[in-house]
Amino acid sequence: MKFIKNNLLKIVIVLITILLGCLCIYAILNYGNTASNTFGQNSRFTSSFKRDNNFKNYQDINNSKNQANAEYQKNQPNIADSRTQPNGENFKPPRGEFNTSHTGNNQYGNPRNGNMNSAYGNNNNLNSKYSPVFIAYCILFFILFVSAYLILVRKKVKFKNSDVCTLISGTIVIGILLRIYFGLLIDGQPFDINLYKRWATLAANNLLTVYGNGSSIDYPPVYIYILSIIGKLASMPVLSKYYYLLLKIPSIIADILSAYFIYKTANKRISKELAILLSTFYIFNPAVLINSTLWGQTDSLFAFIVILSVFLLSENRLIFSSILFTVAVLMKPQGIILLPLLLFELIRRKNLKSILYCVLPALITALIIILPFSISNGNVIWIFNLYKNTIGEYPYASDNAFNFFGLIGANMTKDTTTMFIFSYHTWGMFFIVLITLFSGFVYIKAKNGSYVYIAALIQVVGVFNFSVGMHERYMFAAVIISILAYIYAEDKRLLLLSALFTLIIYINTHVVLFNQFNGLNSILYNAITIFTSLLNVLTFLYLLKLSVDVVRTSNQLESI
């Protein structure tokens, strides 16, 4: 009994690891043999995408988009006026990070026409049964971590040095196994995950020509490089069966690396007990898990690159920070939201040398990433057209985002629609300017080490709440940024913000994802939408107050 008491924590971790390990082995061995998979053997969508290993029909698919759009208009007369052009030529889907060239011909259906099941088969409905499971997981997560935090603080629990390694390694292994199991349980958001599959196969076959004429790819090059590697791995017979899981691996790895980065950073500044708790909080965070492992999105990888660039900026390593900021922008256009941080740092330094340290590495990095595709395409302006077209794909006040525009019922409303005097788009640009000016004020005026993270948090959360064209996932990085802000500021209110961001992001992502599994691609304006959107706006206002307090306190300490 004494042995069990002294080693209870290790025993629990080992038992959980063994249980999850057995579940993963069972899921791997039986993957594809049950009807519960998103794209089971009887799924029409799976059979359609068996051609992904051979892109000889790729151009034919793209050429048939007008036929698909015309058919779509014919079958959907009630919404054609607001989401298609009269001739069906320039149709923009109601949501999603792609244009109609991605939908292919009619046999794929149109996943953005309000009935996803028609495009992907009825197996999507099988995934909706897991909704209560993940809601229960989210509730249990908050109960356990609030309890753990209170115990650590009030009981002043101390871990033995021998237990620290066990806890960190154990939670990492459990986090990986949990993601593998869930990743096999649900293949991902059907359209997005199969879109990535097509891109990966195309990139693996001929990477440098993927942005050629008629290409459906609207992501910048960084992620395409990664997809090319995945496509080559998936071409191996032993791995081809697990293509969807392979597509999730980069984000899963980013989840684990982010959690370990939190631990290493926190362990230098706060207690090892809180460092472990914060790391574990991120590993098992439901908002993180649903994005990378269930949906199959890339936001975890993007957030990891962003947080490294912000961290390097806080450590005054401007050259490496500017390189990573460039990589972030060339992975997702949302990286532009955080570029003002570099400008704020240059304003702080006020010297030409800093500008050179910032601009030159960024330009060299961009050239290294872009140039191979530019040589293949025979021009250098393709990247600007890519960003222009991508930004133009989302002409809505809100694109299923629980934010200010979602709160006032403007979801899927054209951003050219007038609100009071100006259009939603004009209001969005006005808010971006105000938010950027305020975050710049915090960055320049605050004197403690948290100012970089708080300014980044204001940018991410503020732009999500008050800019147009936001998707449900665009605030994802707020969770890890708020954790790092707490580590540097040691202000408990930032922990509260991290918990609130987790709840908001999870609810928004869960509602959209499982609505899509049920064939609904536009969120309803109901109590959940109103509550979560209002909570998000109020949380941002609370963040602004906290920011002012940080500036005031840091200046008072400096004067003392």
DSSP collapsed to 3 states, 336-397: HHHCHHHHHHHHHHCCHHHHHHHHHHHHHHHHHHHHHHHHHHCCCCHHHHHHHHHHCCCCEC
Query: Model confidence over 260-269: pLDDT tens digits?
Result: 999 999 999 9
What average pLDDT does this structure show over 17-27? 94
Statement: residue 247 has pLDDT above 90: yes
* CA atoms of 266 and 243, how far apart (whole Å): 36
Q: Which of 348, 233, 282, 349 is nearest to 486 (CA)?
A: 282
Q: How far is CA 331 from CA 226, 306, 370, in A?
A: 10, 10, 11
Q: What is the pTM of this model?
A: 0.85
Query: Model confidence over 455-511: pLDDT tens digits?
Result: 999 999 999 999 999 999 999 999 999 999 999 988 999 999 999 999 999 999 999
More confident residue, 135 or 87: 135
What average pLDDT does this structure show over 33-38? 48
Q: Which residues contact 290 (CB under 8 A, 6 or more apart)?
A: 134, 506, 509, 510, 513
With respect to residue 296, please indicate whether it lies within any of the assigned structural domains: no
Range in 42-56, 194-208, 517-531, 538-552 the model is least confident about? 42-56
Q: How confident is the model at residue 559 (pLDDT cuts 50, 70, 90)?
A: low
Exposure on the CB side of residue 85, measured as CA atoms within 13 A: 8
Q: How confident is the model at residue 384 (pLDDT cuts 50, 70, 90)?
A: confident
CA torsion, points 519, 522, 528, 532, in degrees to nearest 10?
130
Statement: residue 41 has pLDDT above 50: no
* CA atoms of 134 and 517, how far apart (whole Å): 14
Statement: residue 42 has pLDDT above 90: no
Helices 340-349/299-314 angle, 10° precision: 0
Looking at residue 162, its pLDDT comes to: 76
Could you give the 3-state DSSP secondary structure of residue 422? strand
Statement: residue 313 has pLDDT above 70: yes
Statement: residue 59 has pLDDT above 90: no
The end-to-end CA distance of the chain, in Å, is 55
Statement: residue 375 has pLDDT above 90: no
Q: How confident is the model at residue 560 (pLDDT cuts 50, 70, 90)?
A: low
Looking at residue 386, its pLDDT comes to: 87
With respect to residue 335, please indicate whether it lies within any of the assigned structural domains: no
* CA atoms of 11 and 439, how far apart (whole Å): 47
State which amino acid sits at residue 23. L
The angle subtended at Cα 307 by Cα 453 and Cα 163, nearest 5°, is 100
* CA atoms of 264 and 255, how far apart (whole Å): 14
With respect to residue 560, please indicate whether it lies within any of the assigned structural domains: no
Statement: residue 449 has pLDDT above 90: no
Contact 313, 484 (CB under 8 A): no
With respect to residue 170, please indicate whether it lies within any of the assigned structural domains: no
Looking at residue 352, its pLDDT comes to: 86
With respect to residue 490, please indicate whether it lies within any of the assigned structural domains: yes
| Mode of pairing for the β-strands spanning 398-399 and 470-471 | parallel
Looking at residue 224, its pLDDT comes to: 95
* Domain region containing 427: 394-555
More confident residue, 399 or 158: 399
Contact 103, 110 (CB under 8 A): yes
Looking at residue 38, its pLDDT comes to: 43
Residue 16, token pair as written in the block: 């959980």
More confident residue, 210 or 301: 301
State which amino acid sits at residue 79. I
Statement: residue 325 has pLDDT above 50: yes
* CA atoms of 69 and 48, how far apart (whole Å): 19
Statement: residue 550 has pLDDT above 50: yes
More confident residue, 168 or 112: 168
Write phi, then psi, for 88 (nearest 5 degrees). Answer: 75, 10
Statement: residue 335 has pLDDT above 70: yes
Statement: residue 110 has pLDDT above 60: no
Query: Which residue matches tokens 């984000």?
Result: 251
Q: Which of 416, 409, 419 is nearest to 523 (CA)?
A: 409
What average pLDDT does this structure show over 21-26? 94
With respect to residue 80, please indicate whether it lies within any of the assigned structural domains: no
With respect to residue 319, please indicate whether it lies within any of the assigned structural domains: no
Query: How many domains would you assign to the chain?
Result: 1
Q: Which of 433, 411, 410 is nearest to 420 (CA)?
A: 410
With respect to residue 14, please indicate whether it lies within any of the assigned structural domains: no
Arithmetic mean of pLDDT over the chain? 83
Q: Which residues contact 413 (CB under 8 A, 6 or more apart)?
A: 396, 397, 398, 405, 424
Q: How confident is the model at residue 554 (pLDDT cuts 50, 70, 90)?
A: confident
Looking at residue 551, its pLDDT comes to: 86
